[in-house]
Structure formats: C-alpha cells, structure tokens
Amino acid sequence: MDPTPSRHIVERQSRMLNFRVEYRQRSIEVVLEEASTVGDIKTILETELQVPVSKMQLKGWKSGDVSDSTVLRSLHLPKNNSLYVLTPDIAPLASTSQSSAQQGLSNQNYLLVISHREAQRDYSLNFPASKTIQEITLAASGISYPCHHLTVCRRSSPALTVDQTDECTDVHMVSDSEGDDFEDAPEFGVDESEIFGMGSSSCRKSPMMPENSENEGDALLHFTAEFSRRYGDCHPVFYIGSLEAASQEAFYGKARDRKLLAIYLHNDESVLSNVFCSQMMCADSIVSYLSQNFITWAWDVTKEANKARLLTMCTRHFGSVVAQTIRTYKTDQFPLLLIVMGKRTSNEVLNVIQGNTTVDELMMRLMGAMEIFSAQQQEDIKDENEREAREMVKREQDEAYRLSLEADRKKREAQEREEAEQVRQERIKKEQEEEREAIRLSLEQALPPEPKEEGGEPISKLRIRTPSGEFLERLFLGSCKLQVLFDFVASKGYPSDEFKLLTTFPRKNITQLDPAWSLVEAKLFPQETLFLEAKE
C-alpha cells in the first residue's frame, strides 16, 4: 500500500451552480461549473448587460467581497444563488434618438426648482439627465440646462363630474422654457401628477395611514393595502405589528437568526415620496434584498398626530437620539429609511437614507449596513456558541449530579424496601411459628394418654425416625386411630401437610391411608419402625 495519500487523487465531478443576477430592472440567469471563477460570471454579464467588467461590482457573496480570480468552488456555494450588479460610475443609457448635444448632457445633473403655489413653497430637486419622463429623458425633453424652473398648481379636469372633481385634481405644471409648455406633458403618456412624484396627496383621497389608529397592527394593514394600491404588489413585506414586536423579531432571537430593522417613514407632503416608492422601494433587487436580510416596518408621518406617536415609540424603544434624528429632517427630505442594528447595550441607527437617491446608491448603502451587521453577527454567534457550550457543560454536570442523587435515592429506597420486606418476612415467619406452636400445643393436649404395657389391652409400639436422625418412640393402643398417630407426629413439629410418614419395608405412605383406620388395620401392630420425609 502506498503510504503517500497525495498520490491517489480522485477526480470530483464539477457541480453546476445557478446564479440569478439582478441589475436595475433586469434579471439575468447564469449557469456555470463550480470550477469557474468570479471573473467568468462578469464576462458573461458584460455580454448580456453591455457593461464593462472594469466598471462592474458584483455583490451578494455570503463570504464578503471576492476577487475576479476567486474560484467558485472555494466559496462553498449552494446550488442556487442571488447576486447584484452595481455600476455607480455608469448612469442609465440614453435613447438612441438623442442628438449629439443631448448626449453631451446625458451624464450631467439637472436642478429642478419647483414652486408650489398653494403651499407657497419651493422645492429644489437634483436629477441625473438620464432620468426619464417615461420614454423621454430630461436631456431630450428640451428643458433648460443646468437649472430649470417649474410652477405647480391645481386645476380641475373639465372631463370630470362634480363628484369626481372633489376627489381628484390635476397638477398644472408651468415651465419657464421658451417654446416648450409642460401643460402638454400628457403627450408623453403620463399624467403631470406623476412626472416627478407630484400631487400624490391631493389626488388620493385615502391616506396612507389613518390618523389616531388605536391598534398599530391595523394601521400597518391599512398602510400595506394603500401602498399596494398606489404602487403595485411588488414591494417589501412590511411587518404587521407594533414597533416593539418588530424589534423583538429582528434583534432578540438566536444570533444566527437576527436581522437588521429597516424603518420606512412615509410623508405624502414630500414631492419625493412617489419617486422613492415606485422606483426604489418597488425595484426587484431592493425588494429581494430587504426580504432576505431585513425586518421592514413602516409608518406614515404625514399627519402630525401619527408623527408624534412615532416619536414616542422611538423614544421608548431606541432612546431620544433616534427621535431627535427624525425631528431634524424636513418634510421635503422625506421619505426616510432608517437602518437600525440591535446591540447588547442599546440599538444603533447605522444609516438614514433620504428620498433623493438612486437604486444603486440605495443598494450600496443597504449592503454597507449588512457588512457592518454581519461582522457584529459573527461575533454574537461566536459568543452565543461559547455561552451555549458553557451552559451545555453546566447542564451535563447538573444532569450527572441529578442522576447521582437519583441513583442514591433509588439505592436508599431499595435498601429500605429490602429491610422492610425482611422485617415483614420475619414477622410472618414469627406469626407462622407462633401459629404452628399453638396448633402443636393444642394437638399435644388433645392426645390421649400413653397406655401402659401391663394394661392388658393390645399395645402397638411405634418407633419414628425424624429427618434430623432422631427417633420418636411411643406406645399406642392397637385400636387407636391413625389420626391419633398423625396428631402425635404433628405435635412434635411434623404436620401431615408438610411431612409424610412412611414404612421402611415394604415402603408405604401411611399418610395416604384413611385416618379412621386403627393401627391394627394399618398393620402397625404390635410394633413398627417408621420414618418421616418432607413432602416436595
């Protein structure tokens, strides 16, 4: 036999691994052998997505960041995996119909200054030029660069009835660009109220959350139903229950089962709400990542009463710092996504994500929070395992001690039972002996007197050998019944139910004869030698 095991190499059949890779609004299925590298995945994605490998960040590995040369087998991956592609240096591609001048602006940012007439407020929003009004990008829409002013006001739709007008009003958006009128925005196939997330609160009669709801679970059910009605069913799974219950679910289970808590705070008064909900919170990659790694809890702070209630809950569960953090944000900075991590001493807000962000940036910040959380979780798992090991040793010691006590108790009880049984047997034996002695005395007293030889009557002289070798001798009248002989033997401690009386030769069992026979009839006259034998 060869002593060197390394000489015998068994070829292992390479497994096939499935990867579901999400990029913005796309999902790519990649199947590779586990002998492939991370770079092989990027090469395939470069062909599918038209994104250079050098500008591609492939995230979602359970073992943290990996290099392009990392072999998939070394990561010990399951058969099915989910990954995300981030391209923070690449803006969404413009349409092929852009002019060369518009293409030059495609990587720039627009500042949209929107004046809300009724509220007498101005909103300054930064958007990449690649943001679309559905099919038309900002760069292709003809608005002035780099700053453009818009005015928003309400107008009643002439096509609506009186009742319908009460429920919904259009948003009238006036542009300052020459030759372009944003009143014609419906030509692009979208209502003006949806262009930049404007007019959501005025066009929807039902609020996201009822005011002063007594039960937090009912309020969250209403929130989820209204969110689905507005933005569709593809959204994060909102935890239905109190903030305390969501915190318990996220922070206080087994260390390996804990998650981050994502608190989504909605405000219908903010112009960013519709964009953030429809483009960020409903993106497939964001929904999938939140569902896998977070407990997502939501609240609507549009109404002051609901906002005050939220601040009270946050102060009670997370301390005044979190509540004060929420207070510092203005309405036009909402919605907010707070990422909270549970710690041993107090809960910590890792990140506050404002509404004016992109899918890639949101994903990167969520993954950054997960990296911090994963490091803390590994420490917690290690501490928990060590604690469980100590507790296991203690439980084993306690169990061994309990079993020892139990064994001592059973041994003591067995000894007590044995002693009690011995006492009982001795008592029974003593009672039996006393009873036998009483019977013996009774029989002895009932025996007729021993006759004398010179009396003239026929006398039978019997000699009886006991099991111990001693001899009993007595004279009996020949007419005496066998029962008298039996009683005599019993009076000497050999009752007929335990011993049998036998003749020597020929061997005959006297105790089987009729007790009413006389000694003469039993042929025990004039003398006979008998012996006693214990019955089996």
CATH code of residue 46: 3.10.20.90
Domain interval for residue 30: 16-86
Which of 48, 65, 86 is where one domain is finished? 86
Q: Is the pLDDT of residue 230 over 80?
A: yes
Reference 299, options 381, 240, 251, 342; nearest CA is 240
Task: Render pLDDT for 323-373 as a digit per residue (tens, 0 to 9).
Answer: 888 888 888 889 999 998 887 666 778 888 988 888 889 999 999 888 888
CA distance 472 to 346: 102
What is the per-residue pLDDT across 297-328, written as a single tens digit (0 to 9) for each?
999 999 888 898 888 888 887 777 788 888 88
Same domain, 257 and 373: yes
For residue 20, being part of any structural domain is answered with yes
For residues 227 and 365, membership in a common domain is answered with: yes
Q: Does residue 185 form part of some domain? A: no
Same domain, 235 and 351: yes
**Lowest mean pLDDT, pick from 12-21, 357-366, 410-419, 449-458:** 12-21
Q: 37-58: per-residue pLDDT in tens?
A: 989 999 999 888 888 888 888 8
Domain termination site, one of 86, 106, 124 = 86
503 with 447: CB under 8 angstroms?
no
**Res. 143: pLDDT tops 60:** yes
Within a domain: 353? yes
User: What is the β-pairing status of strands 80-86 and 16-23?
Assistant: parallel
Residues 233 and 326 placed together within one structural domain of the fold:
yes
Strand blocks (E) in 168-293 = 170-175, 260-266
Indicate the average pLDDT of the chain.
79
> Per the structure, how many domains does the chain have?
3
| SS3 category, 423 | helix
Do 506 and 359 share a structural domain? Answer: no
Same domain, yes or no: 228 and 366: yes
* In a domain? residue 315: yes
**What pLDDT does residue 125 have?**
67
349 with 220, same domain: the answer is: yes
Residues paired with residue 128 on neighbouring β-strands, in sequence order: 109
Q: Residue 467: its pLDDT value, please?
A: 92
Q: Are residues 463 and 371 in the same domain?
A: no
Query: Quick one: which of 493, 448, 489 has its CA closest to 472?
Result: 489
Do 345 and 224 have their domain in common?
A: yes
Give the single-character DSSP code of 95.
P
* Residues 364-398 pLDDT 10s: 999 988 888 888 888 888 888 898 899 999 999 99
Whole-model pTM over 0.75: no
DSSP code string of 23-66 = ETTEEEEEEEETTSBHHHHHHHHHHHH---GGG-EEE--TT---
* Last-in-domain residue among 60, 86, 112: 86
Same-domain pairing of 260 and 346: yes
Indicate if 470 and 333 belong to the same structural domain: no
CATH code (residue 292): 3.40.30.10
Task: Establish if 442 belongs to a structural domain.
Answer: no
The mean per-residue pLDDT over the stretch 446-460 comes to 86
Q: How confident is the model at residue 13 (pLDDT cuts 50, 70, 90)?
A: low
Mean pLDDT throughout 202-216?
A: 72
Q: Looking at the domain assignment, is residue 118 inside a domain?
A: no
On whether both 252 and 375 belong to a single domain, the answer is: yes
